[in-house]
Structure 1
Amino acid sequence: MRVLLTGGSGFIAAHVLDILLQQGHSVVTTVRSQEKASKIAENHKQVGKDKLDFAIVEDIAQEGAFDKAVVSDPPFEAVIHTASPFHFNVTDVQKELLDPAIIGTTGILKSIKKSAPSVKRVVITSSFASIVNPYKGTWPEHTYSEADWNPISAEQAVENPANGYRASKTFAEKAAWEFVEQEKPNFSIATMCPPLVLGPIVHYLNSLDALNTSNQRIRDIMMGKAKDEIPATGTFIWVDVRDLALCHVLAIEKEEAANKRFFITTGYFSNREIADIISKNFPQYKDGLPSSSTPGGEYPKEGIFKVDNSNVVKTLGVKFRNLDDSITDTVKSLQAVGA
């Protein structure tokens, strides 16, 4: 299948790219600069230009940003849209978080409808942020599934960057579903809603300082930052990046994924469990790691919401990796870049 992958140098997309190539698909990936394209090409030397090529899209929030990228010979049959702008130092939530996320998502759908009639399936990376109800806390009596939507309002969205991030994911995903409903394009969509994404980094794109937010906690625990107190876990559910990437690819390959939302999670974890796994498998870090009496990093005493990932298992047929394997592989990948 000929596939356009956006945001190819991102943490999730780099793994999606590997799986697409392994499965024999032919890929064009968008990146923000020639330098990033060269880095990716350099690390897939064995792959010819017919199987891996690049399109430069500097700013996905620009009107018509993807107009050129969606045109290909041979034409694309599927698009996997992982690109989403995200900075922490936000001064204007509307301009820096909400607009780029929503315009980036509806923009690519418009470009596909206008210029790539051969595309039959578009997979969009959304987030558990568009499912969770942040106002309910740990909500032990509730089971989260694809039926849930974050109830955040436009007014709440601009109150602070954390709200802005959650709202950007929620509004962008809603905009995608509305687009399909109103525009009735040639393609169906599938949205991927993962919580915390852990798992090995792609070494050629990452340094220890440039990790995705989720993996920073593993680096910090390895480096002794949790020795005296383990930080609060925050979101207690996770997925390994390789399983998430596989779900993206399966969602373009399987007919039955059409117009479905997928809540992609393996289940639960805590920061204490991460510390215990590192301690068990990497004795060289022992001196800097918390002990069983170190405070923090526990599950909430009042219990925690339940999760239903049966739709993912049933429709995509994915088998999830366990936390031990995921953390062990992540630590090894961090060691490879100098941890």
Structure 2
Amino acid sequence: MTRILLTGASGFIASHILEKLLARGYSVRFTVRSEDKAQKLLAAYPSHADKLDYVLVPDIVVPGAFDKAVQSDPPFDGILHTASPFHFNVTNPRKQLMEPAIQGTVGILQAAKKYAPSVKRIVITSSFASVLDATQGNSPGKTYTEADWNPITWELGLENALNGYRASKKLAEKAAWEFVEREKPGFEIATINPPMVFGPPKPYISSLENLNTSNERTLNFIRGKCKQGLPHSGVFLWTDVREVAEAHILAFEKPDAANKRFLVVSDKYFSNQMIADIIKKDFPEYADQLPEEREPNDGLPEGGCYKADNSRSREILGLSYRPLEESIKDLIGALKEMGL
């Protein structure tokens, strides 16, 4: 039986990974920060109790934080590392975003090299933020690929929360690739680089008050917080959480995925206006919470926008991408289940 360590298992993406791993018959140890979260995850899968255990890792920045987690009998075959902060409620980008992301990533690689020689591959959750050069704006005609890197520096990351997040993802991923090149461990790595991630959260581990950042905008629209006008969409690329979860597992399973980055991104753009249109069409009871005036050009940039090439994810991982309407409808269904 294949055994996997999943870090940060209570997160939006990781909770879907856990469900998919158990459905595939994997034996899974997960890490979370608190006993409460651990018990919620165990309670969600009573029929898998014999294939599920956990280790608490309260602070991924602490040296040796993952040393206990990676030691197992039977030993691990792979690690899926998702534990990393993603929020903009930040007063200190270095301590709240950059150091946890970088030290957590390097820490799991160090622990695996030292204590888990059986591990063959580690898949790391990165981000399109480590690919996109935001200083270039919408860049019509530009197509980003896995060869592109965000040029943001540590110093720029210290300036504000958004820069801090982008720097945390870029520098953490760079640190992982540099570790493998320098240390020559017995494992390979792969990284998953999604943009905005939408789709249904798991109600047993999430709440309306503690929703992941990407989905929070849809909740805000429904609650009428943007009735006077939709905020800027930010990036216009997106993907569904279930595609991202599947990508992590396939990047572990597929031999050809070794030592590669993967842009996991839909072929189609999204905008906040498109999300509002879906809410109005499929959930008309919330229509009066939305702005009366539509944004021009479906909320997309008039002059066009960059794209991202997802061909590697399709050809090597075999991914396909669901439409935005399905993702948002399933998201709102989950929000209703959570008490919306």
- TM superposition score normalised by structure 1: 0.96
CA distance in 2, matches of 1:91, 1:198: 26
CA contact (8 A) 1:228 1:294 kept: no
CA contact (8 A) 1:98 1:168 kept: yes
CA contact (8 A) 1:228 1:295 kept: no
Counterpart check, 1:196 vs 2:196: yes
Counterpart check, 1:255 vs 2:255: yes
- The aligned counterpart of 2:315 is 314
- The aligned counterpart of 1:91 is 91
For residues 63-83 of structure 1, give each alpha carbon's deviation from its aligned partner in whole angstroms, at most 9, with x where no partner exists: 010001001111000000000
Counterpart check, 1:59 vs 2:59: yes
**Paired amino acid for 2:56:** I
- The aligned counterpart of 1:217 is 217
CA contact (8 A) 2:201 2:334 kept: yes
For residues 102-139 of structure 1, give each alpha carbon's deviation from its aligned partner in whole angstroms, at most 9, with x where no partner exists: 11101110000000000001000000110000100101
Counterpart check, 1:31 vs 2:58: no
- The aligned counterpart of 1:154 is 154
Q: In the TM superposition, what is the alpha-carbon distance from 1:285 to its structure 2 partner?
A: 1.6
Query: Which sits farther off after the overlay, 88-97 or 30-39?
Result: 88-97
- The aligned counterpart of 1:9 is 10
CA distance in 1, matches of 2:169, 2:290: 35
Query: Which sits farther off after the overlay, 151-160 or 209-218?
Result: 151-160
Q: In the TM superposition, what is the alpha-carbon distance from 1:284 to its structure 2 partner?
A: 1.7
Partner SS, residue 66 of structure 1 = coil
Q: In the TM superposition, what is the alpha-carbon distance from 1:301 to its structure 2 partner?
A: 1.2
Q: In the TM superposition, what is the alpha-carbon distance from 1:157 to its structure 2 partner?
A: 1.7
- The aligned counterpart of 1:43 is 44
**Paired amino acid for 1:262:** F
CA distance in 1, matches of 2:126, 2:152: 15
**Paired amino acid for 1:22:** A
Q: In the TM superposition, what is the alpha-carbon distance from 1:48 to its structure 2 partner?
A: 2.0
Partner SS, residue 299 of structure 2 = coil
CA contact (8 A) 2:5 2:70 kept: yes
Partner SS, residue 27 of structure 1 = strand
- The aligned counterpart of 1:327 is 328
Partner SS, residue 268 of structure 1 = coil
Q: In the TM superposition, what is the alpha-carbon distance from 1:101 to its structure 2 partner?
A: 1.1
Classify 1:232/1:76 alpha carbon distance in 2 versus 1 (closer, same or farther; 3 Å): same
CA distance in 2, matches of 1:282, 1:95: 40
Partner SS, residue 312 of structure 1 = helix
CA distance in 1, matches of 2:78, 2:114: 15
Alignment of 1:262-273 (within 5 A): 262-266=262-266, 267-273=268-274
**CA-atom RMSD in angstroms:** 1.3
**Paired amino acid for 1:336:** E
CA distance in 1, matches of 2:207, 2:155: 37
Classify 1:226/1:89 alpha carbon distance in 2 versus 1 (closer, same or farther; 3 Å): closer
Q: In the TM superposition, what is the alpha-carbon distance from 1:86 to its structure 2 partner?
A: 4.2
- TM superposition score normalised by structure 2: 0.96
Partner SS, residue 167 of structure 1 = helix
CA distance in 2, matches of 1:216, 1:273: 15
- The aligned counterpart of 1:79 is 79
CA contact (8 A) 1:227 1:294 kept: no
Classify 1:273/1:85 alpha carbon distance in 2 versus 1 (closer, same or farther; 3 Å): closer
Partner SS, residue 123 of structure 1 = strand
**Paired amino acid for 2:330:** D
CA distance in 1, matches of 2:291, 2:97: 36
Q: In the TM superposition, what is the alpha-carbon distance from 1:97 to its structure 2 partner?
A: 2.0
Q: In the TM superposition, what is the alpha-carbon distance from 1:87 to its structure 2 partner?
A: 4.9
CA contact (8 A) 2:273 2:294 kept: no
- The aligned counterpart of 2:127 is 127
- The aligned counterpart of 2:19 is 18
- The aligned counterpart of 1:243 is 243
**Paired amino acid for 2:183:** E
**Paired amino acid for 1:193:** N
**Paired amino acid for 2:269:** Y
- The aligned counterpart of 1:282 is 283
Partner SS, residue 31 of structure 2 = strand
